Amino acid sequence: MNLKYIKAKKDNANLLIRIYNASFYDDYIKYGECPAYGRTRASMEESIEKFPKLIIYNDDNPIGAISVENRGNGEYYLGCLCVIPEFQGKGIGTQAFKFILDFYIDWNKVTLITPADKEENIDFYIKKCGFIIDSTEMDGNVKVVHFLLEK
């Protein structure tokens, strides 16, 4: 795999919508809702402005995205890390997360949220990325897990 990470611009909104829809379709079907699925171009453009995103490419093929919010004082929120299904299970997400930790050299704390019944996500963030479970709560009709990674 020849991975590269390119900062998304507003012009990439439709591409990001396709990546998100491919990555989060199963969640949308399972839960009947998914904030990352079915976005409009306007909402994706706004999200690109507010929460910087990197598009993950394998050679010249866009296969995923990662979005990180800088909350200040070395704290970052991982809003999205997605890889389209046909490229999952190949270490791409792990490499992308390591890239982010290397990129944001001032990080001392990273948080994220994922549905509690998504065992593959929970295993990934604990076993591959080193997070611990910080807490759980209900978000609408979905139980979610809050993760924490500290230096």
Specify whether the CB–CB gap between 140 and 33 falls below 8 A.
yes
Other CB atoms within 10 Å distance of the CB of residue 69 = 15
Cα–Cα distance, 97 to 26 (Å, whole number): 22
| Residue 44 contacts residue 72 (beta carbons within 8 Å) | no
Query: In this predicted model, what pLDDT tens digit does every residue of 94-123 receive, in sequence order?
Result: 999 999 999 999 999 999 999 998 899 999
What's the pTM? 0.91
**Per-range mean pLDDT, top range of 21-25, 33-37, 75-79:** 75-79
Domain boundaries, the chain: 3-108
Q: Which H/E stretch holds residue 86?
A: none
Look at residue 88 in the predicted model and tell me its pLDDT.
Answer: 93
Domain 3-108 in CATH 3.40.630.30: yes
Instruction: Please give the pLDDT value at position 27.
Output: 76
Span 30-71, pLDDT tens digits: 777 777 788 889 999 999 999 999 999 999 999 999 999 999
